[in-house]
Structure 1
Amino acid sequence: MLYQEKHRPQLHFTPKENWINDPNGLVYYEGEYHLFYQYNPHGSDHANMNWGHATSTDLYHWEELGVAIAPDELGTIFSGSAVADKHNTSGLFESDTGGLVAIYTQDGKSQQQSIAYSTDKGRTWTKYEGNPVIPNTKIKDFRDPKVSWHEDSKQWVMVLACGDHMQFYGSPNLIDWTYLSSFGKEYPSHIGVWECPDLLYLPVENRSKKEWVLIVSINADGPNGGSAVYYFTGNFDGKEFHPNEKPEDALKWADAGKDFYAAVTWDNTEDTYWIGWMNNWQYAGVSPVSPWRSAMSLARKLSLYEKDGDLLLRQEVITAEGNEEAISFPGATIASGEKESYAISDTAEIDLQLAKTTGSSEWGVTFTTDQGEAFRLEIDQQSNAYTFYRNQGITDFSEDFPAEVKGSLHKKEVKTLKAIVDKSSIEIFLNDGLFTATNTIYPEGTITQLELFAVNEAVQVENITWSKLHSIW
């Protein structure tokens, strides 16, 4: 029954069994994308944290390899990152071509940073005998190191989550670390702790420049309750991060859904890709699935979009080429108060291109099951917002799960809509991934139909395509 259970994702990575949460140690090395992750090998709750391990050649199909790094006398293995030390800056490898180095938090009497290294493409790891490389006795939350090479200052840079702010450290060799600076105490939000940071250098579309982006995961205080990811744009000079946003500015959420958290990027790639944990700490421990608990989002390629001086994160979802059976429908005009229905499968990619809407149009799509359950996305241009309704299906496991999940359109007209439908999730990408919303669902039935509806005025659709996506298992 493994991989065939009710609600088991067929397009998203899950372990065969037991608990997972944050993606860790993302690195591309010698033809493989590595996905490490927080893993409990002994049960379906958050405990006994190890690093689990999976690999992929296309960021879509994954092979689970089991436990990679296990607890020791310093504590359990919390979140962190991995890098390709291609020039053996650490001196941990016999060859000048180096290998993989993992940097992770150990949760024991306090939270400290340790490292391990691998000479066999991440299959086995040797822990550094001088661990921890960054000790800690004072700060309660001192974790989730994300490390990357900063070319301008010729050093490894670590960004570390410290409760209500981030700290930056620098190192020539991944072993000896020097404190550089802190950022964030003057910024919202501090209802929950800051976690799982990342520091990115992303291209700006249609511009001959790049900009720095600082990622912050926060639990709680997300835009729709619970955990979520937001970001700052700005400049990093090798020591300090200088944001474009002022403390009074509205937070920029990477994903307005309820179920996208702890997202971090792969090291050693030409383009920038990331993946998130597809869950929310409000109900992660009681989600109605077994023998696994939790999944990863689909991987996404990142860039920045600039308009009127404002920088927004764009996310292009990754699926496998040639993995689909595409069906196209002719364009349609949906009259006010009317709808059009299309038969689809419950593992599908849906693409809509709109010929034209107005600043006051209200329209959307509904995903309907063979038992009459409806999961609706409504776009309201006049209110500058979209709402995903997931009040149906299995919802009674947590009072925080049923929701009307809202997101901002940043005063931009919606021209394209992509939806990735899986057995227990729907990922929405508007305007080619400029606005995203990731939400888990637990329908009693099977999604079989897509309804396109118009509320207050006609909607003209240029093209409708849906593709049946085959299982990754």
Structure 2
Amino acid sequence: MSYQEKHRPQLHFTPKENWINDPNGLVYYEGEYHLFYQRNPNANDHADMHWGHATSTDLYHWEEHGIALAPDELGTIFSGSAVVDKNNTSGLFENGSGGLVAIFTHDGESQQQSIAYSKDKGRTWTKYEGNPVIPNTKIKDFRDPKVSWHEDSEQWVMVLACGDHIQFYGSPNLINWTYLSSFGKEYPSHIGVWECPDLLYLPVENSSKKEWVLIVSINDDGPNGGSAVYYFTGSFDGKEFHPNEKSEDALKWADTGKDFYAAVSWDNTEDTYWIGWMNNWQYAGVVPVSPWRSAMSLVRKMSLNEVGGDLFLKQEPIITDNNKEVISYQNIDIQTDTTKSYGISDTGQVNLQISKTSASTKWGMKFVTDQNEVFCLELNKAEDTYTLYRTEGLTDFSEDFPEEIKGSLHGLDVQELQAIIDRSSVEIFLNKGLSVSTNLIYPKGTVVQLEIFTVNEALQIENITCTNLNSIWK
């Protein structure tokens, strides 16, 4: 049955069939959130890149559409972005009206930046006859344009991935672009290629401040191996980005899991939302699913939070299920070396509110299947880490898949924990998304039980909420 295959996500966007990767062209326009994405409509591997298309009214339920952009004489269609040209700066729309403009990479003899425009809410697209708008003859990896309007300098600003650094371009009209500056050659990591940049202006919670954030995806050398997303906070003056982080030790990872990559944000929204590709280039082509391959993460609302004088991304998942089944438990005491168990769904979420823990507290939770497979999350305050043990279930398709996946607690007590389980993934959000870990799992059975344990000290939990979520495909 369609959308009910083994390991098919029920809470995350997947195409009906065939390959997808990076989210592209994220834009909100006239009541719809558009999700374009890298797409091979003919096979289950990374080849023959098109832009696929889906829309949503709530960032949770999605409707898949047909191909938006297809290859042409300039090459296949690699990643990019889309904006609302509401003032018709491009002159591509009649009578001064605005519309949608997509900015993308043509991957041919070299990688070049091109544009297309839509006059019917993104359903059909016309490629600009003067493409490419930014030609390239020198840089091998020259791709993934992310464009937004910069109010202070009154121009469109593009951030572009250039192998081992980011380049900034400015334009008054989305057609004529001027090089502004470069950033990043002095920063690691350069083991992998820099990809899918984004430039955000985010509020700092509990203050009136906002700060610029430069997003960079790197296709190798992530904190747990392979693909990952890191970010810099700082200032942007319309020409140059100036980071707060001054050394490689200050690099910040947006998600320390194995399976969150190429994340970019929506244009034309009041709050800032983003989504990532839920996979890793180490094994993306061999994950044991069919007839589709790959999913998107849940959408997340973004902000910044100050911790110990430093700024960290905060990501809160968007779930809009009006018919969910919720079961709550209050005031639970778990003694040392004991476990308490609760029935859960393999398409649901678990929320914990924790009383203050001491410096030595080591505790966690296990997601257990009806075939006694265990996926364990362990939190160790003394070491300031959390670890997801992904060593059971189907793992033999790649030596890089079975892992003990670690992340940082940023020196904080874990007071709130949210875990979202969806047949072939677990997304962990600690302290309302200050620490995040997204990971694929492929259990042979079905997750049916939650076990909460403590190792060396009693644990007091104020509240446990287990929520069964309905499929977004019903």
Normalising by the residue count of structure 2, what TM-score does the alignment of the two structures yield? 0.99
Match in the other structure for 1:197: 197
Q: Distance in 2 between matches of 1:320 and 1:346?
A: 17
Q: Distance in 2 between matches of 1:323 and 1:215?
A: 35
Match in the other structure for 2:42: 42
Match in the other structure for 1:406: 406
- Measured after TM superposition, the shift of residue 171 of structure 1 is 0.2
- Measured after TM superposition, the shift of residue 49 of structure 1 is 0.1
Equivalences for 1:51-450 in 2 at 5 Å? 51-450=51-450
Is 1:277–1:297's contact at 8 Å kept on the other side of the alignment? Answer: yes
Equivalent AA in structure 1 for residue 211 of structure 2: E
Q: Distance in 2 between matches of 1:37 and 1:262?
A: 11
Secondary structure at the counterpart of residue 285 of structure 1: helix
Is 2:106–2:112's contact at 8 Å kept on the other side of the alignment? Answer: yes
Is 1:88–1:95's contact at 8 Å kept on the other side of the alignment? Answer: no
Percent of matched pairs sharing the same residue? 77
Secondary structure at the counterpart of residue 363 of structure 1: strand
Q: Distance in 2 between matches of 1:177 and 1:345?
A: 51
Equivalent AA in structure 1 for residue 57 of structure 2: T
Q: Distance in 1 between matches of 2:248 and 2:424?
A: 37
Is 1:52–1:68's contact at 8 Å kept on the other side of the alignment? Answer: yes
Equivalent AA in structure 2 for residue 241 of structure 1: F
Equivalent AA in structure 2 for residue 461 of structure 1: I
Is 1:265–1:275's contact at 8 Å kept on the other side of the alignment? Answer: yes
Equivalences for 1:451-470 in 2 at 5 Å? 451-470=451-470
- Measured after TM superposition, the shift of residue 249 of structure 1 is 2.7
Q: Distance in 2 between matches of 1:311 and 1:408?
A: 14
Q: Distance in 2 between matches of 1:83 and 1:395?
A: 40
- Measured after TM superposition, the shift of residue 308 of structure 1 is 2.8
CA offset digits 1:27-85 (Å, max 9, x no partner): 00000000000000110000000000000000000000021000000000000000000
Secondary structure at the counterpart of residue 67 of structure 1: coil
Q: Distance in 2 between matches of 1:359 and 1:237?
A: 42
Q: 1:59 to 1:323 in 2, by over 3 A?
A: farther
Over the residues paired in the alignment, what is the CA RMSD in angstroms? 0.6
- Measured after TM superposition, the shift of residue 183 of structure 1 is 0.0
Q: Distance in 1 between matches of 2:331 and 2:78?
A: 50
- Measured after TM superposition, the shift of residue 321 of structure 1 is 4.3
Secondary structure at the counterpart of residue 355 of structure 2: strand
Secondary structure at the counterpart of residue 315 of structure 1: strand
Match in the other structure for 1:26: 26
Secondary structure at the counterpart of residue 285 of structure 2: helix
Q: Distance in 1 between matches of 2:433 and 2:140?
A: 36
Q: Distance in 1 between matches of 2:229 and 2:323?
A: 30
Q: Distance in 2 between matches of 1:414 and 1:465?
A: 16
Match in the other structure for 1:3: 3
Is 1:356–1:461's contact at 8 Å kept on the other side of the alignment? Answer: no
Q: Distance in 2 between matches of 1:378 and 1:96?
A: 57
- Measured after TM superposition, the shift of residue 337 of structure 1 is 0.5
Q: Which runs of 5+ in 1 are unaligned?
A: none
Q: Distance in 2 between matches of 1:254 and 1:455?
A: 29
**Number of matched residues?**
473
- Measured after TM superposition, the shift of residue 413 of structure 1 is 1.0
Is 2:321–2:470's contact at 8 Å kept on the other side of the alignment? Answer: no
Secondary structure at the counterpart of residue 67 of structure 2: strand
CA offset digits 1:424-463 (Å, max 9, x no partner): 0000000011000000000000000000000110110000
Match in the other structure for 1:471: 471
Q: Distance in 1 between matches of 2:383 and 2:395?
A: 28
CA offset digits 1:73-124 (Å, max 9, x no partner): 0000000000000110100000423000000001000000000000000000
Secondary structure at the counterpart of residue 197 of structure 2: strand
Q: Distance in 1 between matches of 2:331 and 2:72?
A: 60
